[in-house]
Amino acid sequence: MAQAPLQAFMSSWRIKDNIAHAYSTYFNPRNLEAYWYPPYILTISDVFDFVVPNGSLSAVQQFYLYLASQRLAMLRHWRAIGHALNDVDGWSDDENNDGEQGEDDDEDGPGVADVSIQTDATVPDADAANSFPDIMLLHIQAIIRPPPALDAPQRVGWHRRHGERVYHKCFPIIGELKRSPSRGLRGAEHDAQCKLLLNNALHDLVVYVAMYFDGDPHAQVVIGVVGAGPWWQWVEIQRGDVPSYAAIEVRHKGSNEKADAVALLKARFNGRPLVYLGHEDSDQEWTALRAAVVHILDHEHASYRDPPEP
């Protein structure tokens, strides 16, 4: 991703306004988690507000992380007979249909291996595994398709997609937020509650990342973010750091792979700074996190398929 050096990130007053709003005992009297979504989404949007040569990056809130039931059934089977996920062959994101599909040219339906972004109402797969991470960074790659003839049935779909064909998506950042520690707490009591909330976020994050890696066989690393209101941390999470979702879903006798993954990542988070959103040290962490994402896009995408023909 050759480009000019990016400037150090600095939180805008728009971000700080939203932090003050979320922290306010008047406007957020119940100390709800949802009030913290806007300042994080705004922050991620600003951090990644630059031209990406190989696609686009967008901050998304509570997108639908979806693991198709066919894929989940295969994971359960292989888990039951003791095979590792890496032993499973014969599937990839190439299962997305690249061909023409009648008048709507609707090539975007989920395949067996898809991590799909959908709403609760539109997912027809009742047996699928699904979750809603609070904050994510979405990486999209698309090609520009030549316009079909004016009277061609594919013309409507081409027009509605602005002439684009999306052929790749992944999530370099997956994050889970919890509410802020009680605002009246200070000192050790505050720190203890913040630690508990971050630990709860980590437990959820492990599940999301396991589901993501199971659904995207090409993804090798993701940035994990946990937050308790304005206090947040980040680490890199490798595929081997978390078990298969099937191992988390069904706890086998004498084994608790989720607990092992939580312990591993907890130690890693403990080695990272805990910073307050909008402050200078937080901005420095976002600058470092951005560099880590750029590295992922530069070096961890080689196994994804090449762009299709327009």
Range among 67-71, 292-296, 302-306 with highest mean pLDDT value: 292-296
102 DSSP 8-state letter: G
From CA 304, how far away is CA 45, in angstroms rounded? 25
Banded pLDDT at 129 (limits 50, 70, 90): low
Question: Terminal CA-to-CA distance of the chain, rounded, Å?
Answer: 22
Range among 3-12, 148-157, 240-249 with highest mean pLDDT value: 148-157
Of 202, 210, 220, the residue nearest 249 (C-alpha): 210
C-alpha distance from residue 77 to each of 70, 74, 84, 85, 303 (Å): 11, 5, 11, 11, 25
Is residue 74 scored above 70 in pLDDT? no
| Residue 224, phi then psi, degrees to nearest 5 | -100, 130
| Residue 133, phi then psi, degrees to nearest 5 | -55, 145
Higher pLDDT, 274 or 126: 274
Rounded-to-5 percentages of helix, strand, coil across the chain: 40, 20, 40
pTM > 0.85: yes or no: no
Banded pLDDT at 22 (limits 50, 70, 90): very high
| Residue 117, phi then psi, degrees to nearest 5 | -105, 105
Asked whether the beta carbons of 239 and 210 are under 8 A apart, the reply is: no
Across the chain, what does the average pLDDT equal? 81
What are 188-227's pLDDT values in tens digits?
999 999 999 999 999 999 999 998 998 888 899 999 999 9
From CA 233, how far away is CA 277, in angstroms rounded? 10
Asked whether the beta carbons of 192 and 143 are under 8 A apart, the reply is: no
Tokens 């316009």 identify what position? Answer: 147
For the chain, how big is the Rg over CA atoms in Å?
21
Range among 52-61, 103-112, 300-309 with highest mean pLDDT value: 52-61
Size (the chain), residues: 310
From CA 308, how far away is CA 291, in angstroms rounded? 28
Higher pLDDT, 79 or 58: 58
From CA 259, how far away is CA 86, in angstroms rounded? 21
What is the SS3 assignment for 248?
A: helix
From CA 210, how far away is CA 213, in angstroms rounded? 5
Burial of 185 per CB tally in 10 Å (0-12, 13-18, 19+) = middle
- The arithmetic mean of pLDDT across residues 109-124, rounded, is 38
Higher pLDDT, 1 or 72: 72
Residues 164, 123, 67, 41: what is their CA dihedral angle, to the nearest 10 degrees?
A: 60
